[in-house]
Amino acid sequence: MTSTDVQQIYLDHQATTAVDERVVEAMLPYFNNKFGNAASRNHQFGWDAEKATQSARETMAAGINAKSREIVFTSGATESNNLAILGVAKMYAPKGKHLITCSTEHKAVLDPMAALQNAGYEVTVLNVDTKGNIDLNELRNAIREDTILVSLMMANNEIGTIHPVKAIGDICHENGVLFHTDATQAVGKELINVQEMNIDLLSGSAHKMYGPKGVGFLYVRRRNPRVRIEPVFYGGGHERGMRSGTLNVPGIVGMAKAFEICQTDRDSDHQRITALRDSLQAQLAAELTHLTINGDENNRLACSLNISFAFVEGESMLMGMSGIAVSSGSACTSASLEPSYVLRAMGVGDDLAHSSIRFSLGRFTTQREVDRAAELTISTVKRLRDMSPLYEMALEGIDVASVSWGAH
Ligand SMILES: *Cc1c(COP(=O)(O)O)cnc(C)c1O
């Protein structure tokens, strides 16, 4: 069955978002009428494209309190993270080869870090507590003489926990260490001020904020301190040599329009989406026992609701809930079902991790959809639990964890 056969309720906005119609509208002229190469300096086609990207650059910069020359356009947050981490690592290697990150980062941070480790760098991976928060003292203690970069995300993509970015930035700057933040889940949703927060490098992506896929940006600080990065690939010297390649003009125009809309609507979107998320959580909690909210309930993204439903298995749940598009706490890697490494890092057991669902709401989510999703989830969980001997035992007061199952 394809998604066009049934009207699915989309609650997977932390994976990607639909492009806002206003964004599509803004992009359209740049596919044909104004198709020029922003690097063409000799004619109107090029000038028009350059003007559009410059205006987009200013919009992106203003939205995070940066200068337009500090914005590097990329193909998305994966590239931005790689450029920030590998670029700093190469440029500052003479100063030191130690970097710091944490266990719940996106793979687009953890994998370049692992690649650096293989290349002779040292990486300290900070732990998180049961809500996904790092310990600032642990960060302080991890910083060494040869530390060149701290990379800690602004908001987590699985559980929505928001890191204390300003406090982290302060610690980094007190110690003369550069601070990169993967802010992909926060851009357009949370207030960001790179000056106030002492951020040196910041990654963002258009498709997480109602813009198109395949375009993103990296903020690279130019003053206090001036950050220098070695490019990851080489070519025409675009983006002041940091990122060669012809600019994706329609994508960039779309990203800026998307960011602009996010800023205009931020407070009202935040309020409305929080209310919908809380309504979903309340409806589930009213009808179901043995729920665990994963993440920090007092400090998470408005859109984010990650719940473990004990005594049901995530994949069976997803099948039962086929009318709703959500993500589960199991990631299909090769043949096996691996529980989410983010939940694992928070100390969530494999069983609960497998039974977890990430609901993420968005700008176009309605109360009706939330009610329907709650209804479907409740009936699925109840049905699966009715078939679960473990659940029956738990209802009888038997501590299921203490039961010995023998060899199997
Ligand atoms: C989606 C996401 C990414 C990857 O962004 P792309 O633009 O899809 O490459 C990186 N980090 C976080 C936190 C994300 O949510």
pLDDT tens digits along 381-401? 999 999 988 888 888 888 766
Ligand 1 binding pocket includes 108 (Cβ within 6 Å): yes
Can you tell me whether residue 45 is helix, strand or coil?
A: helix
Residue 243 alpha carbon to ligand 1 centre in Å: 18
Q: Which residues pair with 179 in a beta bridge?
A: 150
Regarding beta strands 304-309 and 291-294, do their DSSP bridges make them parallel or antiparallel, or are they unpaired?
antiparallel
Q: Does the pLDDT of residue 407 top 50, yes or no?
A: no
How far apart are alpha carbons 317 and 393 in whole angstroms? 20
pLDDT cut 70: percent of the chain above it? 95
Over the range 328-352, which residues count as b (16 or more CB within 10 Å of their CB) and which as e? bbbbeeeeebebbbbbbbbebeebb
How far apart are alpha carbons 203 and 163 in whole angstroms? 15
Cis peptide before 225 (omega within 30 of 0): yes
88-102, 107-121, 162-176, 314-328: segment of lowest average pLDDT: 314-328
Ligand 1 binding pocket includes 304 (Cβ within 6 Å): no
Q: In the CATH hierarchy, which fold is given to the domain comprising 21-261?
A: Aspartate Aminotransferase; domain 2 (3.40.640)
Residue 75 alpha carbon to ligand 1 centre in Å: 11
Q: Which residues pair with 360 in a beta bridge?
A: 12, 304
CATH superfamily, region 3-15+266-398: Aspartate Aminotransferase, domain 1 (3.90.1150.10)
**Shortest CA distance to 136 belongs to which of 156, 161, 162, 165?**
165
250 or 337: which leads in pLDDT = 250
The protein residue with its alpha carbon nearest to ligand 1, atom 9, reads 78
Which pLDDT score, from 0 to 100, does residue 402 have?
Answer: 64
Task: Output the six-digit token pair for 58.
Answer: 């200013």
How large is the angle between the packed helices 44-63 and 249-287, nearest 10 degrees? 30
Q: Does the pLDDT of residue 13 top 50, yes or no?
A: yes
Mean pLDDT of the chain: 94
Q: Does the pLDDT of residue 334 top 50, yes or no?
A: no
- Based on the number of CB atoms within 10 Å of its own CB, is 96 exposed (0-12), middle (13-18) or buried (19 or more)? middle
DSSP state letter for 233: S
Q: What is this structure's pTM?
A: 0.95
Domain extents for the chain? 3-15+266-398, 21-261
For ligand 1, mutation pick of 106, 109, 158, 342 (most atoms within 8 Å of CB)? 106
Task: Output the six-digit token pair for 162.
Answer: 């928001």
pLDDT tens digits along 262-305? 999 999 999 999 999 999 999 999 999 999 999 999 999 999 99
**Shortest CA distance to 263 belongs to which of 298, 211, 226, 314?**
211
pLDDT tens digits along 197-235? 999 999 999 999 999 999 999 999 999 999 999 999 999
Q: Which residues pair with 358 in a beta bridge?
A: 306, 327
Task: Output the six-digit token pair for 265.
Answer: 């609507």
Q: Does the pLDDT of residue 404 top 70, yes or no?
A: no
pLDDT tens digits along 119-157? 999 999 999 999 999 999 999 999 999 999 999 999 999
Beta strands per DSSP E along 132-275: 147-151, 178-182, 201-205, 216-220
